[in-house]
Structure 1
Amino acid sequence: MAPPPTTQANRRTLYCRRHHQHPHRQCRSVLMVMSTRLLEKTIGYRFRRKKWLELALTHPSYRHENSDQLEDNQRLEYLGDAVLGLLAAHALYQRNPNATEGELSKLRSGITRDETLANIAETIDLGRHLRFGKGEAQNGGPSRKSNLADALEALLGAAWKDGGQRAAQKVFDNLFPAVINKTSNTSSDLNPKGTLQEYTQQHSLPQPTYESIATEGPDHSPQHTIHVHVFDQIFSATAGSKREAEQRAAEQALCSIQNESPR
């Protein structure tokens, strides 16, 4: 009968036995070193001071069950939350030059929410690198989305502590490009007027011009009709505010672009 395949866990155990280390004490540190090296390769950043990475991977339940562990990742999570907000805000600001403050805030909230962070953490298998207490580990801790989201923020905080903004930026650039691209691609849905202007600039076409045609209805609830002139065509829309009417008119123009080439 062929021997069972050697898994990564088996290799770690064999390594410990080969070096005559106690599986629950000395071996524990060896396993942590092996785990952190693999994670560093995945995130594209090598920590100069491993204590920050190890702390980011330490769940509060582990500290509660190990008297020699004085800290956990909660403070790094707090720092990482702020770091993530900064890096995400800058990335979106650069990629969406026509988005308003409110639109950028909405895009950023989609990046920084727990569900998004947990999904990213799952793609790098972050849960298996975390240290949990026995109770939490046995009750789904490594796969719990809140734990994964918190740990990912702690990881960014740890990178900042280890190497400043440049280090955190490197981790962010390695882990978040897909979600940044996806979020930026939806910005046209939030700001069709800006997207239309971008399109005309990229194709060296005359800029769209907006004309207020009529305002009807009671003072407390007026309806504004706007025309946008673009591609030698006129697109019209009506809404409760001039800004919203302009956005709707621009959206109609963008729909026309998708169906036929501009003149």
Structure 2
Amino acid sequence: MSAERRHLWRTWLAWAGRAAPTLLLVGAAAAFYASGLGADFSLEDLRTNEMGLRAQVAAAPMVTLLVFTILYAVATAAFVPVGIVLMLAGGFLFGPLTGTAATIVGSTLGAVMTYVAARFASGAAIRDRLARGRLGKIMAGFDASPFAYLLTLRLLPLSPFGLVNVAAGVARAPVRKYVTATAIGAVPYSLIYSYLGVGLGKAALAGRAAELTILARPEVALPLAALAALSLIAARRTSAQRSA
């Protein structure tokens, strides 16, 4: 093999290695939407299929928990917008604590997948271009204090989770700090939505799914109040950081 061909072969292998994680995520997203999960998965679907899902969990609890965690991770990595429903489903099907643990692991793994794909795919030219675009401000925040900045973003209720993952990968945020902040930031929302899923599940079993009065029930009202309080605290912290 000539030197030129060896160079072309190595160049192609390098490109394929950089593009492989991104191509896998694109394929996962396509598979999600092709299966109908990306468009049709909702809390109403959970309520409708509640008996069958609970039977599957009872028959093989560890297997269904593993499948749920992997499903959450892939959906997060592939930008499929079913995170809130899956957090509710975790509490609905596995209970608040087990559901919380599964969603924390799933969301962190999914975030790491996106981070890896973005980091591998982005060269210097791509990083410079993205830094001047929509991700520029997010990327810049990782320079001064990556852990604190990322943790704040994770706690903001309207923070673009997927875009933050991409920005962290492109900016080459420290891996250990990225994973730690992502896991810690997932705790409060995972816990709140898991408990909310338990409350909605109980209401559904009691035939109160369509009644507004379920919002006054403690198992539903308390998680909602905690979610509102967390959102307010995160917003005030962000405002304080901007004014500092």
Q: Structure 2-normalised TM-score?
A: 0.24
Greater RCO, CA 8 A, separation 6+: 2
Which structure has greater strand proportion?
1
Q: Structure 1-normalised TM-score?
A: 0.23
